[in-house]
Amino acid sequence: MVALKVHFYFRIKENMWVYVPHLGMKKVFWLFNSLPLHGAIHYRQIVQIGTQWIYLSGIKTLNRDGSNIEFVIIATYSYDPQTLTVYKYRWQIETMFSALKTSGFNLEDTHLNDLERISKLLSLLCIAFIWALYIATKI
């Protein structure tokens, strides 16, 4: 079996515990707490969650209603200064799939199981979604 290195970028909760060499166990937000508001950093030191060694990048920001500070912390297996940018693009894709499943598109209600039909429907829904987004931003 051939092992493939799939780049992962996933968000972790700010209250997760990580092992930081020479500092011990810390809640992950602690690594980013000294950032200014809207500040971002790519933590250079490798840390451990469970048995996995990972690199972290994070942003200190406000929640949606602007009432509390929150952290967007992204984990990946290699140090990558582009981590936050990559995650931002991937998050846009996740947002689109969420809209296709709900928000009026209701993709899952089709109950299709033929891959060719699913592919065609998904292509059409993506075009419709992008068109709706385009129209919404022009209004």
Consecutive H or E run containing 71: strand 69-76
- Nearest partner of 96 among 70, 65, 131, 62, judged by Cα: 131
User: pLDDT digits over 6-15, tens only?
Assistant: 678 888 999 9
- Shared domain check, 33 and 71: yes
Look at residue 25 and tell me if it is in a domain. yes
Give domain status of residue 68, yes or no.
yes
In the chain, % of residues over pLDDT 70: 95
Full domain range(s) for residue 67: 10-80
Residues in the chain: 139
Tell me if 45 is assigned to some domain: yes
Cβ–Cβ < 8 Å for 25, 51: no
- DSSP label at residue 99: H
pLDDT tens sequence across 8-38: 888 899 999 999 999 999 999 999 999 999 8
Query: What is the number of structural domains in the chain?
Result: 2
